[in-house]
Structure 1
C-alpha cells in the first residue's frame, strides 16, 4: 500500500538473562525505516543490553531480531549491516580522521577509489573536510563525535545505533549536537536507534520513544504521547516532572474517570488501566499545567506559596492547598514579571483536560 510504513527492525520476544539475573524481559517492537527511535530509561533498565543484542555484542536468551526480513540474532557483529556509535567514540588515536573513516571500508574490501570517494563524501556530510589529516586528540568532543558518526555511516549500514553519544559533552554542545544528529538522520534517510537516560534529549529528537523500566517496556509512543498521556506511574514519573495525588474513583465511563481529590474538588479526566469496580487511583498533573494567580477567582482553589525559585525561563513554586503540596512551573513571559513571594495566598487553577488518571 502507498504510504505504508516499512519495517526496518522487528524484535520478537527478545530477552536476556545473565545467569539467574533477568536483565530484560521479552521485548517485542517494530521500528520503521527512516525513523529516529529512542530507547529511554534509567540505569539498569535494560536499554543498553537491548542495543548490544541488536548490534551483535550480546546473544539473546530468547527471541528473534529481524532486520529487513532477515533474522540476524545469531550473526556475528561484522556480518550484520548495523553500525554503532559508542559513548567514548572509540576512534583510533594513531590514525588520521581520514584513516579512521576508511578503516571499516578497507576491512570490507572496498576498492581504493571507492574508499576515497566515500571518505570524502562522509567528511563533507559532517562538515569536517578541513580536518581530514588531523588526529583525534587534536579535536574537540563535538568534532570527535562527528568523525565517529562519519565512520559508522561510511559502510552504508541499514541501521545506526547510538549508545549515549552526547553524555560526555557539555550542555551547550549537547544541545547543538542534538540538532546536528537530527539533521543528519533526515539527510541520510537512515533508521537511528538512540539510547539515553536523558528525557529532554529523547523528547527533543525522537519520532518515537520506547520507555524501558525494570527490564520491560513501559510505553511506546511519540514524544507527545509519553509526556501528555503516560500509561502508568513509572512513565509519568520518569519522563518530566509531575505531581501525584491519591484519589478515590467515583465513576468510570469509557476512557473517562471521575475522581474525588484531596484538594476538595471532583475531576473527570482521561484514565489508563482502570476497570469497573476500582476505587483507588493516582492522579498525575504536570507542574506547568497548573496555574496560580494573586488575583482572586470565583470557584478557584486557594493556596499558599511555600517556596519560589526563579529559574530564568520559568519560576518554580511549591503551593500548599490544605494538607496537599503541589509543584507549579510558570513561564516568565515578560522581563518585569515579579516572582510571587513565599507566604502569598494565590488562586490555583487545574484544568480537567490537563490531568491523567492512572492505576494506583
Structure 2
C-alpha cells in the first residue's frame, strides 16, 4: 500500500502546507482559521491557531527558506505570517482586489543564498534568540502569487523601504476566476488556470526584485504581465496547473475528466491530452519528469506516466479501491433502487430503505482538494507527498516501494 500515514485532523480541510523540516503542518479546517500542528513524540498536537481572516481560508503556503506562512481568503485579503518567538505575527498584503482570493503560492527562489531545510530551522531559532526575525525573514522567497475571482493575478513582493508587502496586478487577461497558479523553476514564468477553460503563462519579472539570468534566455527580457502563451485545450473549467522539476513540461486538468501535458511552452507548444472515464481531477503533482499524480473527485490518487516516446497515459489508481458491485447484482440493485424512487415519486413513499451511495475512493472518503510534495525543493524525484480533502484527512504517500512505478521515477 502506498499510503504510509493517515491523520484525521478535522471534519473538512480546504488546503494544507508543511514546514521546511516537515515537523509541522498548517491547514484550514474549512473556516476562517489556520491550525498549526506539531509532531511531538509520534503524536500531532495543536500549537497555534492563526486568526485574522473574516471568511474561509482557501489558500496557504509555507516557505521553505524563510519559514514564512502566506494565507489567502475569500475576504479578499492575504497575510504573511512571521514567527516571532512563540507567536505568529501577521502582516497585511495590499492586494487591491474586489473579489475573493482563491489560491496562493510562494515563488521557488529568492536571494542568492541556498540553504537546506535543516539550516533554515537553525537560523530561525537563532533569530528568535537575538530578536532579528524580521531581518532574517527578508532572506528567502522574494515573491508570491495570488489568484482571485476578480480575473486578476497579484504578484506580491516585499517593499523594504515602507516595510510592507505590495502587489502588481496582471489584468485584462483572464475572462473568469483564476483557480490555480504555479511558478516555473526560473522564478519568472507563472502558469495560471481559470474557469474560462484556458491555461496561460505570464512573465512576472519585477525590476529591483528579480535579477536577469542568462540561463532564463529571452524570458528575463520580457516585461511584467506579458503573456507568453495561451493554451485553449480545455472546453471546461481548468484547475491544478504544475510544472515538471526541470520546467520543460506543464500539466493541468479540466473539469471534463481530462489532463493536459504541454512541452516546449512558447509560441509553438507541443500538447497532449489524456481522457479518463472517472470523475474530474482538482490538482496534480509531478513526482518526476515522467510521472504525475492527479487527485480530485474520485477520492483516489491517479497515476499518469510517459513512456520512452514521451506519450502520456493513465497507469492506475494509487490507493486500493473499495469493492464495487458489478454484473447482474449491480443491475438488480439498480432496478430495485429505481423502483423505490418511482414508488416514492408516485405514492409519496419514504426513502428510508434506499441504500446510500457508496464511496468511490479508498482511504479518502471525499474529494481530494490538495496535494503537496514532501521532498526537499530542487529534487528531481518526489517519492513522498501528502493529500488532503473534504473528509478532513491528511494522507502521506510513499512511492519508494511501488515496483511497477519505479521505472518512471
Query: Common fold, TM-score beyond 0.5?
Result: no
More helix by percentage: 1
The two structures have a TM-score, normalised by structure 2, of 0.27
The two structures have a TM-score, normalised by structure 1, of 0.30
More strand by percentage: 2
* Greater C-alpha Rg: 1
Report 1 or 2 for greater relative contact order, CA contacts < 8 Å, sequence distance ≥ 6: 1
